[in-house]
Structure 1
Amino acid sequence: MNRPLSYDECNCFALRQAARHITQLYERHLGAVGLTAAQFTILAKLARTPNVPILDLADAMVMERTTLVRAMKPLQRDGLVIAESAEHDNRTYLFSLTEKGEKTFDKAVIAWRAAQDEFEKKFGHGRAKALRAELFTITG
């Protein structure tokens, strides 16, 4: 006979609950710039790696391509991200930040830093660093 599910034993539940909590903290700060946490992470990746194909971006973000395409639409609509055809293949689009996207990202970094500082003040700098390292081993 199966015993009842105990949420305190479920890794998925604990991770998703923590992710929602932390996302709310970051979005409280990033909202002042008009971005969600997910949008910020996309802009951050594009700031580091311009002219990236959607499949490479999806892999880097650990997202399904269709989910990423939906997430990119408001960024493109708002003029923060541009998609241009690759020279070698007109069917491949390369994504980059626009000038407006770069300016928005620069403002968002200040909001992100405030969120990062708030989290680390509550959780502890050393613990936060160890947590990131541990979590990156899951996706690395």
Structure 2
Amino acid sequence: MKGFHMQHCAFTTVRKANRVLFRRYQEALTPTGISIVQLSILRALERHGPLPLVRLADDLAMERTSLYRTITPLVEACMIDLSKAESGRTKIAELTSEGQKTIERVMPYWAKAQEQILSEVGDGDWQAVHKMLSAIANLKC
């Protein structure tokens, strides 16, 4: 057990960084009425096309109940269409034209936050951090 007190906890460090980044992006997006999590959902559907909700939750590393709660306002605002798969059990999420317009409207706010964060961190450092965080994100639970 000797020496453990000298190591920085990966969880605590990443959690603190996550909270700071979340606040920064959320604050930047406030004028748009879209949260950073909602934007992430819209952009995932833009990247992948229609997805079963289970796969969408996995792609975003979200709990399904959190995804359902967060996606509901997007469905109500006609940004995402939900339909049942042929089996009738699975729901499929699809980006609508309204959702695409929302992404286009919100991205300048996101880009401003992204640029500010990267200028503070430094592009070279960000590349290394991104590589490490991607490796962590790909660890098996």
TM-score by length of 1: 0.88
Q: Output the CA distance in 2 between the equivalents of 1:78 and 1:130.
A: 38
Where do 5+ consecutive residues of structure 1 fail to align? none
| Mapping 1:1-140, distance limit 5 Å | 9-86=8-85, 88-140=86-138
Whole-angstrom CA distance in 1 between matches of 2:105 and 2:39: 11
Per the TM alignment, residue 35 of structure 1 is displaced from its structure 2 partner at its CA by 1.3
2:96 maps to amino acid: T
Aligned identity (percent) is 30
User: How far apart are the structure 2 equivalents of 1:40 and 1:133?
Assistant: 22
Give me the whole-angstrom Cα distance separating, in 2, the residues matched to 1:117 and 1:126: 14
How many aligned residue pairs are there? 137
Normalization by structure 2: what TM-score? 0.87
Cα distance in 1, alignment partners of residues 136 and 60 from structure 2: 13
Give, in angstroms, the shift of residue 10 of structure 1.
2.5
Q: Once the 2 structures are TM-superposed, how far is the Cα of residue 9 of structure 1 from its aligned partner?
A: 2.9
Amino acid aligned to 2:24: L
Report SS of the residue matched to 2:89.
strand
